[in-house]
Amino acid sequence: MREIKLFFIFALVLAAGCVPQGQYNQEVQENQQLAYLNATYQQLNQALEAEVAADQVQIQQLQDELQVTMLNEILFAEGGWELHSQGRQELDKIIPALQQVPGKYIVIQGFTDNLGILEPLAGRFPTNWDLAAGRAVSVVRYLAEQGIDPNYLAAVSFGQYHSVADNSTPAGRAQNRRINITIQDEMP
């Protein structure tokens, strides 16, 4: 009788510590996702160490995505939309990390300050939305040319909206002119 009681107690303890297979699989997947995000975050920080130190780049690990924010000055000429040679070199630093994220979407988000577009640029980009879109598309094209799968690339324009600093100062406007490179599981 004592053996039956011990067996019953052992079975209860064992059952209390078990989780359903679906929950276990979900927890394993979440742990793998977190490990991937941590490894990619570290790789991006190493590749852009000098730019992060100079406050030209920020790298954030959010709940289920990574976001690299690059100020426009390191990617584009003042008022421009085409990547300059330094901008291509900056993107080349993160391409190895982006190539190691198969199945993840890479969304390029373009932002501007709130100043109006002047001629001759206004003929091509009549609004800040258009300019931010042109910059985001320029980054997407470059990444695709470098071997990033275009099926997982997207360009999004926020224009002058969603500013992160006060547009009344030159320093604030410089912070608002930026590109976010977001690595995520799903398309927005």
The sheet carrying 57-61 orders its strands as 57-61, 66-71, 178-184, 105-111, 153-159
Write down the pLDDT at residue 2: 46
171 is a domain residue: yes
Q: Quick check: is 128 in a domain?
A: yes
CB atoms within 10 A of CB 161: 13
Can you say whether residue 37 is alpha, beta or left, with left for phi > 0 and alpha for psi between -120 and 50 degrees? alpha
Residue 4: inside a domain: no
Q: Could you tell me if residue 9 is inside a domain? A: no
What kind and span of H or E run contains 156?
A: strand 153-159
Please give the pLDDT value at position 58.
94
CA distance 154 to 34: 23
* Cα gap 129→111, rounded to integer Å: 8
Domain presence at residue 50: yes
Q: According to the model, what pLDDT value does residue 145 have?
A: 98
- Residue 183 region, left (φ>0) first, then alpha (ψ -120 to 50), else beta? beta
Tokens of 15: 């059952």
Report which of 5, 66, 3, 13 is spatially closest to residue 35, judged by C-alpha positions.
Answer: 66
Name residue 174's amino acid.
Answer: A
Tokens of 75: 């990617």
Torsion of Cα atoms, 137 then 140 then 141 then 145, to 10°: 170
100 lies in which domain range?
21-184
Output the domain CATH number for residue 28: 3.30.1330.60
Question: So what's the pLDDT on residue 70?
Answer: 97
Give the strand pairing for 105-111 and 153-159: parallel
Q: Structurally, how many domains does the chain consist of?
A: 1
pLDDT at 187: 75
Residue carrying the six token digits 């002058």: 160
Token pair belonging to 113: 């300050």
Query: How big is the chain by its Cα radius of gyration, in Å?
Result: 23
Flag whether 165 is in a domain.
Answer: yes
Contact 58, 81 (CB under 8 A): no
**Residue 11 placed within a domain:** no
Average pLDDT of each block of 10 consecutive residues along the chain (188 residues)? 48 56 58 72 87 91 90 91 96 94 92 92 93 97 97 96 94 95 86
In a domain, 150, yes or no: yes
